[in-house]
Structure 1
Amino acid sequence: MSLIWVTRGRTWGFRFLLDGGLKDPLVEYDAAFSGIEDRPEACRRVGGKVALRFQDPLGRKDVAGRVIPHDFVVSGLSADEIESVEDGLRLVWSRPEVADRFARIWELPKPPSAG
C-alpha cells in the first residue's frame, strides 16, 4: 500500500505527512480530490487509486475548534479493498504509521516533514 496523507495539526495548517514516495505528491492529491474538495467525508475510486477523507476518529480539533480532517490517496493492492469510508478507517487509519504517528505529532508546534 502506498499512501499520500494530508492533514493539519492542532496549531499547524495542512501538510503532507506521507508523500507516497513521490517528489510532488500534490499532483496526485489534486487529481484524486478534484470535484470533492468540500466534502467532509469521501471515498472515491480514481483509476487504481482511492481518494479517502474522514474526520479525525477521536474528534481532535485545531485551535480554531474545527475537527481535523484526514485526506489520503491510497494506491496498491490494498486500494482494491477500500469501498467506503469505514473500509478506509479499518485499513488505513489503523496502520501504525498513521494513527500512532498522528497521536504523537498533532499537538507539535511545527509539523514534521513528509516521508
Structure 2
Amino acid sequence: MTLIWATRGRIWGHRFLLDGDLPDPLPIYDEVFSRVGDECEACVPVGERVALRFPDPLERRDLAGRIIIHEFVVFAPLSAQVTTVEDGIQQVWTQPGIADRYCQIWDLPDAR
C-alpha cells in the first residue's frame, strides 16, 4: 500500500509520517491537496490518487486543544476503493502500521 501521510501530534507539529516511497513527498502532497478545501473531512479523487482527510478517530488533540487531523494521499490501486471518508478510514486507517503506529507516537515529544 503506497501512501503519503501527514499529521501532527500532541506536541510535535505537522510532518510526514509516510512519504509514499518518494524522496520528497511535498510536491505530490501539495498537488493533490490543492484541490481540497478547508473541510476537516474530505475524500477527493485527483487522477489515480485520492486526497483523504479526517479527524483523529479517537478525537486526540494537540497541546493547544485542536483536534488532530490526518491527511493521506492514497495511490492506486487502493485509491479505487476509497470513495468516501468512511471507506478511507476502513481501508487506510485500520491497516496494520497506521493506527497502531500513531497511537505509539502521538504523545511523544517528537515523531521520530
Measure the CA separation in 2 of the matches of 1:53 and 1:107: 20
Specify the code of the residue in structure 1 equivalent to 2:17. L
Quote the residue 1:19 is aligned against.
19
Specify the code of the residue in structure 2 equivalent to 1:71. E
Rate the CA distance shift 1:63–1:105 in 2: closer, same or farther, 3 A: same
Specify the code of the residue in structure 1 equivalent to 2:110. K
Which TM-score applies when normalising by structure 1? 0.94
Task: Specify every segment of 5 or more residues in structure 1 that has no aligned partner in the other structure, as ranges.
Answer: none
Specify the code of the residue in structure 2 equivalent to 1:7. T
Q: CA RMSD in A?
A: 0.8
Deviations 1:47-92 (A, max 9, x none): 1000000000000000000000000000021110110000000000
- Following TM superposition, the consecutive aligned residue runs of length 4 or more in structure 1 with deviations greater than 3 angstroms are none
Task: Specify every segment of 5 or more residues in structure 2 that has no aligned partner in the other structure, as ranges.
Answer: none
Quote the residue 2:56 is aligned against.
56
Count how many residue pairs are aligned between Structure 1 and Structure 2: 112
Contact 2:81 2:87 in 1 (8 A): yes
Measure the CA separation in 2 of the matches of 1:4 and 1:40: 17
Paired residues for 1:28-47 under 5 Å: 28-47=28-47
Measure the CA separation in 1 of the matches of 2:6 and 2:61: 15
